Each structure stands twice: as structure tokens, then as C-alpha cells.
Amino acid sequence: MSVFFDIIHTTHYRYAQPVTLGEHRVLFRPRDSHDLRVLATDMQVTPAPVDIRLIQDVYSNSVALVQPQSPATELKVVCTFSVEHTGTRALDFPLSPRAQTFPFDYDSEERVVLAPYLAPYYDDPSGLLRTWANQFTLGQPVTGTRELLVAMTQFIRDTMQYRARFDHGVQTPYDTLRLQSGTCRDFATLMIEAIRQLGYAARFVSGYLYTPWLDSELPAGTGSTHAWLQVYLPGAGWIPFDPTNNLIGGTDLIRVGVARHASFASPVSGSWHGFPGDFLGMEVDVQVHQRT
């Protein structure tokens, strides 16, 4: 059964005096596929932009390149869209016979296409990540391919503490293991790097999380930007795993962009020129409402 969502994502930068605004990259349009259909989109930029170009980036994400008018004391980007989500029944998809147990091999064509998602982003000279990942093989020569991923997703959710962090960037997986805490993007990065050590192809996903208990009779329920990962499993394709909430598939994850690392999937990025003290801060507000 389809679920319909209306989403408003507002990003607001403020400056103490007029500054020169450079080109900004806005990754906001949900990523269409058989399970997620975009019904409507709109973007309003203040100050009015000189130019907007819509492109597909190297990951086939839909990106708006925006050149705002300047000088200006603010930059406000309001993205609205409606989507139809049929969900992903991730645990029901059968795998190819060759991929049902771990370890398994991708075929030659898959390895060519998946190369950016198979190669670890972080070096692991001491083998720390590989050792941590190996615990989910259950000490057996053969382990279920999907069962290993399910166990790791649940383990991160059960043993690590979510801590909001509003600065830019992502923790290294080593810091997340050391601190036993992080944000959604930190947990996704840890799991991506760990399973790449085991030979899985994985990619970072940015998007939105619908939180049912926050929805209400107001015009829109409060949601949030979110991050998780997808793993490519032969026969089943790209399957979503959310270690922050122990979600696997379903309709509550609304994807926008994918990349080999979190740094390449920022919702809004760009430049401005002025004095460092001119920057007064950034505010982000996300409203996610499920239609009844």
C-alpha cells in the first residue's frame, strides 16, 4: 500500500552585514525509483537567485546549482515536495544462490560498477575495523549474507548512544568505536566501512526520516534530515539499512541522495566571502507530514 508524504525543508543562513554569496549546491529532490515516486517539487530562494541550473551529479542525484544575488545578509532555501512511497520489503527479497551465504563474490560486471562502493574510504592499517566486523560472522566459516547485516544493524542500535552534533562533517569510524556514540551519519559511516572490509558494496544515503509519533493534527509533523546506508546484494539489489533506528526497508526512510561517503551528500553546500565574524549561524527546519 502506498504512503504519501509532504515535506518542507528550510535552510537559513544569516550574516551580520552584507556578504558576497558564491554558487550553492542544493541536493533536495528525492531519488525516484520503483518504490519512491516524486509527485511535486518546488524551491524558493531568498535573495532571488541570478541563476539556477538543474543537473544530475556523478551519482545520478538531482542537484540544483544556485547562484544567489549578493551582497546579502541572508540566504534562505525552502524546498518542498510530495512523494508516494510504496516501501521496500528488504527481508523478503530472495538473493541469488551465489550470494546467500557469506563470504560471497560479485560477478565481474558487478565489480566494475560497484568499485567505488567496495573500496574503503578510510585506511585500516591496524585491522581494527576488520576485527570489529568479524564478530558478526559468528565465528563460523559460513554465515547468512543478510543475517550478518541484520545483526550489525541491531548491534549498533543496541550498544551505541545517539548524540546530536551540529557541526559539519562526520566522525571517523574509529572515533565512533572509541566513543561508542555518534549521529546517524556517524553510525552509517561506521557500518559502511566495516562491511566494506568484509567485501560488501555499500553506499551512504541522505534523506528524511518520518517519525510517526511526532506527527499530529498540525499542518505538518516535525521530522528530520537523516542518514543511513544501502548495501548491494545480488538478486535483491540496493537494500536500505538504518543502524540508528534498526530499520531495514519500510516506508519511513525517504531517500534524497547517495554517495560513496557522507561528505559528498550534503543537502546544501556553497561559499560566501566576508569577515569570519559576519556569519551569525545556520538554522535548519524539516517538516514531514504523512497524508491521512
Instruction: State the residue range of the domain holding 53.
Output: 3-86+266-290
Same domain? 276 vs 204:
no
Q: Name the pTM for this structure.
A: 0.92
Tell me the three cell numbers of residue 21: 554569496
Per-residue pLDDT reduced to its tens digit, 22-73: 999 999 999 999 999 999 999 999 999 989 999 999 999 999 999 999 999 9
The CATH number of residue 167's host domain is 3.10.620.30
Tell me the three cell numbers of residue 181: 556514540
Per-residue pLDDT reduced to its tens digit, 126-177: 999 999 999 998 767 778 999 999 999 999 999 999 998 767 789 999 999 9
Per-residue pLDDT reduced to its tens digit, 248-263: 988 899 999 999 999 9
Same domain? 230 vs 115:
yes
Contacts of residue 77, Cβ cutoff 8 Å, sequence gap at least 6: 10, 11, 12, 24, 26, 28, 43, 44, 45, 66, 268
Same domain? 191 vs 117:
yes
The pLDDT assigned to 220 comes to 38
Same domain? 245 vs 274:
no
Whole-number Å distance between alpha carbons of 126 and 220: 48
Residue 144 counted as domain residue:
yes
